[in-house]
Chains A and B, each alone.
Chain A
Amino acid sequence: MNMTMTIPTTTASTITLAEAMEFVWTEADLLDHAVYDEWLSLWTADARYIVPIEPGVTDFGNAVNYAYDDHEMRKKRVERLLSGQSVSASPVARTVRSLSRFRMLKTSETACELRCAQIITEFRRGRERTYTGDVVFELVRSESGLKIRRKVIWLINSTEALGGIGYIL
């Protein structure tokens, strides 16, 4: 008898590392290939995309960040990249990001916290630059699969002077 057949499909199991990795790799791929509509749909309604400056900050809302985006700001960021109005995003830099060194910090049936390393290489107007950092994802399970509730990008050089970043890290 096939045991799995008897498990009701509504019972969720703990979010696995493999499941979470597959999801954030897809997110990375959507950004590198500028599939922004789909990227925007990966987030919960109250989600934040955060690029902090000060290492160790916890109260992001009361701190100056590089980015502290709610849905509205993520949408505006995408519109800006597509508008052709921004000279630093015309054309948008080409990027390849690689996510690795995954570790599940916490997980349950409904949510998980995943940490990984991210290295992005950007290329634009003859110049290649790299941004390296830790990324901490808070993912939640929804009816339509995993969603991002929070993504925090901890650049290793966040307190140094960066170059203009005319794309989404």
Chain B
Amino acid sequence: MTSLAELTSNPDELIRQDRVRTPLYTDPAIFEAEMTKIFHNTWVWVAHVSEIPNNGDFKMAQVGLDPVIVVRDRKGEVHVHLNRCRHRAATLCEVRKGKTSSFVCPYHGWGYSLDGKLRGVPYENGYNEEQIDRSKLSLKSLRVEEYNGLLFATFRDDIEPLADFLGPAKKWIDLFMKQGGGYPVKTLGEHKFRFPGNWKIQLENTTDAYHFPLVHKSFLTAVDKETEQQLDMLNNGGFVEDLGNGHSVMVMIPELIDLDDNLEAPIPEKFADLAKELAAEGYSDTEVRRIVRAVGGSGFNINLFPNLACSMAFFRVLQPVSVNETEIRHIAIGMDGGPAAANRARIRLHEFFQGPMGFGSPDDAEVWDRVQHGAKGGEDMWIMLHRGLNKEESLPDGRHRSDVSAETGMRAAYDQWKRMMAV
């Protein structure tokens, strides 16, 4: 029996509470099923509001493998359209981001307004009125909802509202957005890289504190002592909590959960110069403390199933490409209207760890690549996800919490995966 067939008839053979079988990383049929059963049936993150701040702004994105355009129309409303002409399917847009007043297909020139309505059809007299009924030829649009600046889209009109889908994750998103330091959060640019491995390997990694001291040893060596201690996350009393619907949070630095807490604490040495610079620019002591705190980022990662993480100080977006290829984007964020020096400091921290030339990401990419390579052997063997199960506490709604290095977040994600796939 194929793995995919087994998934519906006998799911325990492929996925259990504490382990999953190798074909979840390697079987193209499972990958294909994921792209519809998961990515066509849930809320998928497509943009942050600051990426399309003005009317007419757009960006390209994907929902699973489907290319979409995220656009703010003339009235300021956000739409997510399939990037596909209603005539013979050509993409309407191949520009990553920009500003426009309409989308015109390059093939035969059908033109669409930003809200997706078909406006212009060249040589229209080649059709009769019924053949070119504009009300039936709008772009295919997805349902869009926003939570605290995060824009999600879904192909489904009948699933729960976004706020219900996020559930207990909302509180953590609100805490994460405090790194605006009193300003709105704004995206500053992004690093994009690929690794030859399945997307769930990266999904797991966002709540994997266990790998940090080993894989990121060279990064820990490169940072100052104070930062190194702060990132000694296996010894700092952190935890992982299942937030329902496949979401989870991993707290690595408990004193940086609420960035407004304990602002009178001494300013870390590495930010001393920045604090001086801000004070010299006329920011009050409280503002300086809040901004400097924000520059350092939050002490936790939120993993939102299936494709977004709010990870310490950036957004991690996961884009499956094929069963053994995944694209990762690390979007830097900063303070919209905040001091340039503070945003520069954030950008430098981002460059330090993230991206294809960072001191962290290439090592992550290397071990994920190794997972996929190793998974070529032992098709019937298990991927073990049982770490921290013995210490796990039970929370309301069947959720769990365990210590920071527990694989609780991964179990939460696979639990949701199973709910969506084994049907």
Question: A residues engaging B (CB < 8 A)?
Answer: 51, 53-54, 61-68, 73, 76-77, 79-80, 83, 85-89, 159-166, 169
Contact = CB atoms under 8 A, between A and B. Distances in A.
Given A63-B347, A66-B191, A80 B332 contact: no
Contact of B222 (A51, A79, A87, A165): A79
Nearest to B321: A161
Nearest to A65: B351
The 4 closest A-B pairs by CB, nearest first: A64-B189, A164-B362, A88-B366, A86-B218
Interface in B329-386: 329, 332, 340, 343-344, 347-348, 350-352, 355-357, 359, 361-363, 365-367
A164 B218 CA distance: 15
Contact of B218 (A54, A80, A160): A80
A81 to B, nearest CB: 9
Contacts of B194: 161-163
Given A63-B189, A64-B332, A164 B351 contact: no
B145 interface: no
Which of under 10, 10 to 19, 20 to 34, or 35 or more describes the interface residues of B? 35 or more
A62 B343 CA distance: 8
B96 interface: yes
Contacts of A165: 356-357, 362
A85 B218 contact: yes
A33 B19 CA distance: 45
Contacts of A164: 193, 195, 356, 361-363, 365-366
Interface string B53-81: 00000000000000000000000000000
A1 B222 CA distance: 60
B195 A87 contact: no
B190 interface: yes
A62 B362 contact: no
Given A88-B365, A162-B193, A165-B362, A64 B356 contact: no
Interface of B: 96, 188-195, 215, 217-218, 221-222, 327-329, 332, 340, 343-344, 347-348, 350-352, 355-357, 359, 361-363, 365-367
Contacts of B96: 159
Contacts of A77: 359
B347 A62 contact: yes
Which residue among A159, A164, A166 has the maximum number of chain B CB atoms within 10 Å of its CB?
A164
A153 B347 CA distance: 19
Given A51-B357, A80-B359, A163 B192 contact: no
Nearest to A70: B348
Nearest to B370: A87
Nearest to A68: B351
Contacts of B362: 86, 88-89, 164-166
Contacts of B340: 62
B191 A64 contact: yes
A164 B51 CA distance: 26
Most buried by A among B195, B347, B366: B366
Given A83-B221, A85-B218, A86-B362, A53 B357 contact: no
Given A88-B363, A159-B96, A64 B350 contact: yes
B363 A86 contact: yes
Contacts of A62: 340, 343-344, 347
Q: Taking each of B217, B329, B362, which has the highest tally of chain A beta carbons within 10 Å of its own beta carbon?
A: B362
Nearest to B340: A62
A53 B365 CA distance: 19
Contact of B195 (A51, A80, A83, A163): A163
Contact of A166 (B190, B351, B366): B366
A84 to B, nearest CB: 9
A169 B357 contact: yes
A64 B194 CA distance: 18
13 contacts: A53-B189, A64-B191, A64-B332, A73-B352, A86-B217, A89-B218, A161-B193, A162-B356, A163-B195, A165-B356, A166-B362, A166-B363, A169-B357
B79 to A, nearest CB: 24
